[in-house]
């Protein structure tokens, strides 16, 4: 199943095309940016041309649904939904941390802690054992990550956040939610469910509170 894979939940804009069953990656772009909205669709167009693929050849879309910031998730999920509707193909949402953990390779017998930037001096984190998520995703201060024994076999964290995480680790890697990981986190045999973003907290922008109105003013409806 030829699949378009997208993720905008982190500082990395991830776009790729690959074969679902074999996890073959035909083309991939990973761009470290905060301009996901401006770059996403042009990057998809460029990547399809690079892979020698047309939109009509796509059979599915997979998109990371977070955890991540409100704006980033909205861009990726709205674009994935639009592609799915226009092409008449299923759209699968997967946890971005699951995709990152899958990028770590064979972790049988290992514990893996995935940490991503939540901004506001906080992080998102999930714990995996034997390749399966056993805790999370959560949002907290980096030093408040609660892992049994305060140690894991592998820590996957952006380089900029490494010093803020106090959990000890045998290995440390900085990995993006790549196309192979997104494909691995998706089960195409499942019926696609409505995309549900993993914000884990309220967006930074909130609607203003209504101003108090004097009781002396009449309630006039036009």
Which pLDDT band, with edges at 50, 70 and 90, does 202 fall under?
Answer: low
Res 21: pLDDT: 87
Pairing of strands 111-119, 122-129: antiparallel
Buried b (16+ CB within 10 A) or exposed e, 134-144: eebbbbeebee
List of domains in the chain: 2-97+177-185 (3.30.420.40), 105-173 (3.30.420.40)
Least confident of 33-37, 77-81, 213-217: 213-217
Q: What is the DSSP letter of 150?
A: G
The answer to whether residue 219 scores a pLDDT higher than 60 is no
The answer to whether residue 208 scores a pLDDT higher than 50 is no
Beta strand residue intervals within 95-202, DSSP E: 111-119, 122-129, 132-140, 151-156, 168-173
pTM: 0.89
Res 201: pLDDT: 76
The per-residue pLDDT of the chain, averaged, comes to: 91
Res 203: pLDDT: 52
In tens, the pLDDT along 45-67 reads 999 999 999 999 999 999 999 99
Mean pLDDT over 34-41 rounds to 95
Least confident of 21-30, 102-111, 165-174, 203-212: 203-212
The answer to whether residue 211 scores a pLDDT higher than 50 is no
Share of the chain above pLDDT 70, in %: 91
Query: Bridge-partner residues for 60, per DSSP?
Result: 3
């Amino acid at each position: 199943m030829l699949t378009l894979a997208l993720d905008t939940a982190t500082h990395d804009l991830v776009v790729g095309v690959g074969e679902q069953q074999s996890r073959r990656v035909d083309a991939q772009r990973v761009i470290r940016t905060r301009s996901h909205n401006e770059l996403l669709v042009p990057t998809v167009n460029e990547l399809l041309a690079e892979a020698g693929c047309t939109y009509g050849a796509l059979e599915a879309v997979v998109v990371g649904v977070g955890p991540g910031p409100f704006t980033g998730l909205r861009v990726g999920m709205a674009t994935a939904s639009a592609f799915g509707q226009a092409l008449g193909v299923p759209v699968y949402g997967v946890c971005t941390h699951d995709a990152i953990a899958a990028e770590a390779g064979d972790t049988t017998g290992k514990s893996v802690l995935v940490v991503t930037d939540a901004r506001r001096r906080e992080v998102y984190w999930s714990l995996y054992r034997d390749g399966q998520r056993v805790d999370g995703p959560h949002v907290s201060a980096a030093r408040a990550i609660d892992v049994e024994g305060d140690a894991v076999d592998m820590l996957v964290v952006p380089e900029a956040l490494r010093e803020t995480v106090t959990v000890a680790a045998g290995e440390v890697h900085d990995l993006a939610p790549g196309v192979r990981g997104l494909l691995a986190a998706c089960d195409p045999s499942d019926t696609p469910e409505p995309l549900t973003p993993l914000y884990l907290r309220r967006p930074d922008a909130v609607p203003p509170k209504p101003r108090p109105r004097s009781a002396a003013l009449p309630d006039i409806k036009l």
